[in-house]
Amino acid sequence: MGTRGTKSLLERKAENPEYRKRQEEGYAAFKLEAQILAALEQKGWSYSQLADATQTSKSNICRDLKGGGLPAASLSRLYRIAEALGMRLVTLLIPKEQVQFVVPEIEALVRRSFNAAFGEPEVKTRAALPASPYASENVAAGSAVLVADSAKGGLVYTY
């Protein structure tokens, strides 16, 4: 709440369903971008190497992985990127009214699976993470993301 009982600009924007929808879509793309960048770093690959492995141009990879560019990437290219990085892109259609219940359960299942395989992940703040040439400049303060931990092969929660 803003001063003197007025709503802040962010609070007023959050009341707009279209604004909330854009924010949710952007955050989903950010989480996917963070996972791809962490996997790139784990493999020690450059954008050029990823482009070669996915049989696309470096400019496509650069455009896709710059902050906010991922939603414009083709689904086919995202599948190829995941495959090249030794991962699998999983897409789901979930009824809107069930998203708030289903997605947290899926995320918890993934965390438990990784934790069972690799042990409990270390929790770090974004400031405590080492600098990366692949790091996105569009990390929102206070956001939490699961990314691969290149040292342990598990997950790191970043805030």
pLDDT given for residue 134 in this prediction: 41
Mean pLDDT of the 21-35 span = 81
| Joined tokens for residue 138 | 């569009």
Sheet strands side by side (includes 155-158):
123-124, 155-158, 145-148
Report the chain's mean pLDDT, rounded to a whole number.
Answer: 75
Query: Which amino acid would we find at residue 72?
Result: A
Is the model's pLDDT at 89 over the cut of 80?
yes
Mean pLDDT of the 18-45 span = 84
DSSP3 helix / strand / coil % (the chain, rounded to 5): 55, 5, 35
Bridge-partner residues for 155, per DSSP?
148
Query: Which amino acid would we find at residue 52?
Result: D
Measured CA to CA, the distance from residue 60 to residue 47 in angstroms comes to 9
Q: What is the pTM of this model?
A: 0.62
Q: Is 147 exposed, middle or buried (0-12, 13-18, 19+ CB in 10 A)?
A: buried
Of the given ranges (60-69, 96-105, 131-140), which has the lowest mean pLDDT? Answer: 131-140
**Per-residue model confidence as pLDDT tens digits over 42-57:** 899 999 999 999 999 9
Measured CA to CA, the distance from residue 110 to residue 133 in angstroms comes to 27
Measured CA to CA, the distance from residue 104 to residue 42 in angstroms comes to 26
Nearest CA to 132 out of 58, 65, 59, 52 is that of 65
Mean pLDDT of the 48-67 span = 93
- Choice between 38 and 124, residue whose per-residue pLDDT is larger: 38
